[in-house]
Amino acid sequence: MTATAREIESNADWLPHRIDPVARRVEFLRIPPSAYGEPGFLADFRPAAADGVASLAFEEVAALDPVTGPLHFVFHTAFCRSTLLARALNIEGVSIGLAEPGIIASLANFMGSGGQEGAELTRAVLRLLARRRAGGEAVFVKPTNHANRLIPLLLDAAPSSRAILMTNGLEPFLGSIARRGLMGRRWGRSLFLELQAYAPVDFGLDRREMFLATDMQVAGMAWVMGQNHFASLLSGPQGGRLAVLDGDRFNAERARTLGAVLGFAGLAAPPEAIAAAADGPAFATHAKLGQAFSGPQDTAHASKRDGTDEIGQVAHWVSLIAAQMGPGVPLAQTLF
């Protein structure tokens, strides 16, 4: 039996998942809270049975009026441990971390295709993500970085929310791309094109020079654009609701980071709960893939094994570019 609108309104297990712009419907998946702390992304979750899927028309979604609780965000520039943070924020009675629910990427695609109802639909979707939980937990949503152009819209749609802007240094970023081989390098080029569409930077390169740029140089320029985009948000009207977190600093100071994230969002947690989360299962396995780590997680972003010379040369080249961008690039941590 398909869930009714009222059941979806009152049951936070029904997460909005995907927008069907042709049928003008929103698809929902019934995802148990036990899945929130598991490796991977909620966008990839597949219910075991057909009754775990439901859909409502746009008009029905807009008409829902759920009881809501606090909602906050973790935005990121990719490969900076943001998924790990989302998993670690699943602290009973305090907070819930939703790692990349599919609906945010779907909203980005819908808005990009010219959806005129985007703002209204965004507000309705965020109300559903913020539905009050049985334990009273605040919800932290970590969208895909491919939806970063929606950050102002998401913050406007949830005016009481706060957001962490999570990033890391250039060399760890490039190291992560290098370890992913050909597809990682292709991803870096794709990210460059994506950012140039909504947060462009003039690098002073003509078409021939851009064609000659290596994969790593292009990825480095994408990193600069991501940093510059976040810097512009920090200096904008919503800047007071944002704080910067460095992914490597998080890994080095886990308990302090979790406490600071909760404090920034106006939440409190017993020190023992924070300590347990900082030493919990989220840190024992790869946040995306799930395999166990054989050593400390700080090796996960090491670049020395993967193109050290190339990464170092590109990092120097990009640093010369970043130096001309002003004091906001690269970003400095502000969370603590």
Residue 312 C-alpha from the chain's centroid = 27
57 belongs to a structural domain: no
- Size (the chain), residues: 336
Side-chain half-sphere exposure of 185, counting CA atoms within 13 A: 12
CA quadruple 260, 264, 267, 268: dihedral, nearest 10: 30
Contact 17, 30 (CB under 8 A): no
The Cα 241–Cα 40 span in angstroms is: 28
Q: What pLDDT is recorded for position 115?
A: 58
CATH of the domain at 220: 3.40.50.300
Question: Does residue 71 sit in helix, strand or coil?
Answer: strand
Render pLDDT for 242-267 as a digit per residue (tens, 0 to 9): 999 999 999 999 999 999 999 999 99
145 belongs to a structural domain: yes
Report the share of the chain in percent with pLDDT over 90: 85
Q: What pLDDT is recorded for position 36?
A: 95
∠ at Cα 161 (98, 170), nearest 5°? 65
Say whether the peptide bond before residue 330 is cis (omega within 30 degrees of 0). yes
Instruction: Please report the sign of the dihedral spanned by the C-alpha atoms of residue 82, residue 87, residue 91, residue 94.
Output: positive
Number of domains in the chain: 1
Q: What pLDDT is recorded for position 131?
A: 98
pTM of the predicted protein model:
0.93
The Cα 30–Cα 101 span in angstroms is: 12
Q: What pLDDT is recorded for position 114?
A: 61
Q: Are strands 242-246 and 163-167 parallel, antiparallel or unpaired?
A: parallel
Q: What is the DSSP string of 127-194?
A: HHHTBPPTT--EEEEE--GGGGGGHHHHHHHSTT--EEEEE--HHHHHHHHHHTHHHHHHHHHHHHHH
15 belongs to a structural domain: no
Closest CA to 61 of 111, 114, 19, 108: 19
84 belongs to a structural domain: yes
173 belongs to a structural domain: yes
The Cα 187–Cα 130 span in angstroms is: 32
Closest CA to 5 of 44, 68, 54, 75: 54
DSSP-assigned beta bridge partners for residue 54: 28
43 belongs to a structural domain: no
User: Using alpha carbons only, how large is the chain's radius of gyration in Å?
Assistant: 20
Contacts of 122 (CB under 8 A, 6+ apart): 107, 150, 153, 154, 157
Please report, for the chain, how many H helices and E strands are present, in that order.
14, 8
287 belongs to a structural domain: yes
Q: Which domain covers residue 173, as residue numbers? A: 70-322
Give pLDDT tens digits along the chain (336 positions): 579 999 999 999 999 999 999 999 999 999 999 999 999 999 999 999 999 999 999 999 999 999 999 999 999 999 999 999 999 999 999 999 999 999 999 999 998 766 567 889 999 999 999 999 999 999 999 999 999 999 999 999 999 999 999 999 999 999 999 999 999 999 999 999 999 999 999 999 999 999 999 999 999 999 999 999 999 999 999 999 999 999 999 999 999 999 999 999 999 999 999 999 999 999 988 877 766 755 445 444 444 445 678 999 999 999 888 888 777 889 999 999
Sheet holding 95-99, edge to edge: 95-99, 138-142, 71-76, 163-167, 242-246
Sheet holding 25-30, edge to edge: 14-20, 25-30, 53-57
Q: Are strands 53-57 and 25-30 parallel, antiparallel or unpaired?
A: antiparallel
259 belongs to a structural domain: yes
